[in-house]
Chain A
Amino acid sequence: DAGVIQSPRHEVTEMGQEVTLRCKPISGHNSLFWYRQTMMRGLELLIYFNNNVPIDDSGMPEDRFSAKMPNASFSTLKIQPSEPRDSAVYFCASSPGTGSPAGELFFGEGSRLTVL
Chain B
Amino acid sequence: DQQVKQNSPSLSVQEGRISILNCDYTNSMFDYFLWYKKYPAEGPTFLISISSIKDKNEDGRFTVFLNKSAKHLSLHIVPSQPGDSAVYFCAATRGGADGLTFGKGTHLIIQP
* CB–CB A104/B43 < 8 A: no
A-contacting residues, B51-95, CB 8 Å = 51, 89, 91, 93, 95
> Cα distance A4–B46 when bound, in Å?
14
Q: How many A-B residue pairs have CB under 8 A?
A: 66
* CB–CB A48/B43 < 8 A: no
A101 is contacted by which of B41, B46, B102, B105 (Cβ under 8 Å)? Answer: B46
B43 is contacted by which of A31, A42, A44, A107 (Cβ under 8 Å)? Answer: A107
> Cα distance A106–B44 when bound, in Å?
8
Known contacts: A42-B102, A45-B99, A45-B100. The answer to whether A104 contacts B46 by CB under 8 A is yes
Q: Which residue in chain B gives the minimum CB-CB distance to A44? A: B102
Note all chain B residues with C-beta closer than 8 A to A109.
41-43
A105 within 8 Å of B (CB atoms):
yes
A25 within 8 Å of B (CB atoms):
no
Note all chain B residues with C-beta closer than 8 A to A56.
98-99
* CB–CB A48/B98 < 8 A: yes
> Cα distance A33–B43 when bound, in Å?
13
* CB–CB A4/B96 < 8 A: no
A42 is contacted by which of B45, B99, B104 (Cβ under 8 Å)? Answer: B104
Note all chain A residues with C-beta closer than 8 A to B95.
102
B32 is contacted by which of A93, A97, A101, A110 (Cβ under 8 Å)? Answer: A101
> Cα distance A44–B99 when bound, in Å?
10
